[in-house]
Amino acid sequence: MDELVERVDDHDRARWAPGRLPVTEQLGVLRSVLSRNEILTDVLAGTAALRLPGWYVTAGCLFQTVWNVVTGRPPTHGIRDYDVFYFDGTDLSWEAEDTVIRAGRKAFAGLQADVEIRNEARVHLWYEGKFGVPCPPHGSTEAAIDCFAATTCCLGVRLEPGGGWRVYAPHGLSDVFDLVVRPNPRLAPREVYEAKAARWKEEWPELTVLPWPE
């Protein structure tokens, strides 16, 4: 798959269409593309060492890396932070989550990036205060990823013992490769989607942003 990714640099980029490949091949291309972002691979390795329950690296650092490679930009272009989700329902206190966050700061102290670690078992405790709508308690990290404002964001990757990658992509990968931003009206309000999509469109004007359903 690395050879397939390399052809992005050598041939007409518009003809490179991994979004139309079989899913099994898309997974191989995804790993090759994401591996070009050395900060991301460091975050994956560092998070694996923390041994957090149900963890994934997720959201913008993944799909934006893909957008960058597809459009010929540096792999880290426009990526504000690296999100790490985990799920620990045994202790919903802020103190327990803060202990993990502090451990993450120590683990990533030498990394030139912001790594944000959050316990998705606690999201319902603060979500309404931040976004104005209630959030039912999540039952897993995957359930939290399902609720991003855009289906394109619904992507998580983690390292498995032995070096394999576990990829969670409930809406597939074609939109990610094809630069399509599609709304996900499952939880986040319309204004959150539209604000994010507008910011992404400024950074990656090649995107196709689909409207919020009426």
Do residues 7 and 16 make contact, with C-beta atoms less than 8 angstroms apart?
Answer: yes
Domain boundaries, the chain: 2-209
CA distance 80 to 114: 7
Percent of the chain with pLDDT over 70: 91
Q: Compute the average pLDDT of residues 122-140.
A: 94
pLDDT value of residue 92? 97
pLDDT value of residue 14? 46
Residue 186 main-chain phi, psi, to 5 deg: -75, -40
Q: Is the pTM of the predicted complex or chain greater than 0.85?
A: yes
pLDDT value of residue 50? 96
pLDDT value of residue 162? 85
Judge whether residue 161 has pLDDT over 90.
no
For residue 66, give the 3-state DSSP assignment: helix
Per-residue pLDDT of 79-94, as tens digits, reads 999 999 999 999 999 9
* 32 or 4, greater pLDDT: 32
Residue found by looking up tokens 């998705």 in the block: 120
Q: pLDDT-derived band of residue 16, with 50, 70 and 90 as boundaries?
A: low
Mean pLDDT of the chain: 91
Q: pLDDT-derived band of residue 22, with 50, 70 and 90 as boundaries?
A: low
CB burial of 105-133 (b: ≥16 within 10 Å; e: otherwise) equals eebbeeeebebebbbbbbbeeebeeeeee
* 125 or 16, greater pLDDT: 125
